Amino acid sequence: MRLVVVTLLVLAAGCGGKESSSPTAPSPAPSSPAFTLQGDPASGQGATWTYGGTLEGIAYDLQGILLKPQGGGPFPAVILSHGAGGSANVYSRGVAAEMVRWGLVCIATNYTHAGGVSLGAPGTLLEPGASQANVRRAHAVYEILRTLGYVDMRRVAAHGHSMGAFVTTALLATYPNDFRAASHTAGGVRTDAFAFGPAPPESQATSIRTPYQLHHGDADSVVPIASDRRLDSVLQTIGVPHDLRVYPGAEHNDVSNNPTVLAAIRAWYGSHGMF
């Protein structure tokens, strides 16, 4: 495989759409970290990448995967976030194999709760799920998308499973203007009465402005469906377009790569301007 090293450049921020749910005023791009790509993102297996350097005073050491449709774009894109013990190469690659067929650029990185890979930076094993460290990692992935040259930054989505769903919720809350649509499986929020936990608190979710589709099995014993019902209630209260879909008898991982779930996500993205 050919090794390509790309120096990230500062790019002008894209304009937002006219709809209130459209991205408007994306956050600043990094000035100099190195993004190294190995392989062909348009191939069946996609490419792997590394990212190192400093962004807004924080040191990064990230690894991930990138898949894209054939052609020059511009394409819509999605940031994929894996659950506990998973990785970009395991969970995220499986979902990307389907989503790239929809015409999406699919990108993912490893988080602090990954298994079988190096820890990377920022963050430690004690900072899983919706931690600030993982939100920073996901935000760095967003910045990588801005430098690729074939991504329409007005059409970026976020999707995750379990701990990755927690990351997705916190990412949307932290950067509410960056995403056109979002989805997750087996996620949700915790009550503010609990000061700590891998799920984001209800109060943080009140900053979300992105249309959000939620999928959860009612037999989930890992992340109880009450967590997503809680998030559903928050989104209802703040008036964000959302859709909670409950799967009777489905356990935690039954919804993670389910064809019915993925078809619903594709339709959700289409109805909110991703395609």
Instruction: Please state, in angstroms and rounded to a whole number, the distance separating the CA atoms of residues 201 and 231.
Output: 9
| Contact present, 166 and 256 (Cβ < 8 Å) | no
Model confidence at 7, pLDDT cuts 50, 70, 90, reads very low
Residues 6+ apart with CB under 8 A from 161: 81, 82, 83, 86, 91, 95, 184, 185, 186, 187, 255, 256
Q: How confident is the model over 94-140, as pLDDT tens digits?
A: 999 999 999 999 999 999 999 999 999 999 999 999 999 999 999 99
Q: What angle do CA 168, 169, 174 make, to 5 degrees?
A: 95
Instruction: Please state, in angstroms and rounded to a whole number, the distance separating the CA atoms of residues 89 and 177.
Output: 28
Q: What does the pLDDT average to over 211-231? A: 97
Q: How confident is the model over 100-110, as pLDDT tens digits?
A: 999 999 999 99
Residue 52 in tokens: 């190192």
Q: What does the pLDDT average to over 89-96? A: 94
pLDDT of residue 196: 87
- Core vs surface per residue 231-257: b (16+ CB within 10 A) or e: bbebbeeeebbbbbbebeebebbbbbe
Q: How confident is the model over 150-203, as pLDDT tens digits?
A: 999 999 999 999 999 999 999 999 999 999 999 999 999 999 988 889 999 999
pLDDT > 90: percent of the chain: 83
Give the residue carrying structure tokens 């067929």.
101
Q: pTM for the complete prediction?
A: 0.88
What amino acid occupies position 63? Q
Report domain extents, the chain.
Answer: 65-271
pLDDT of residue 100: 98
* Protein fold of 65-271: Rossmann fold (3.40.50)
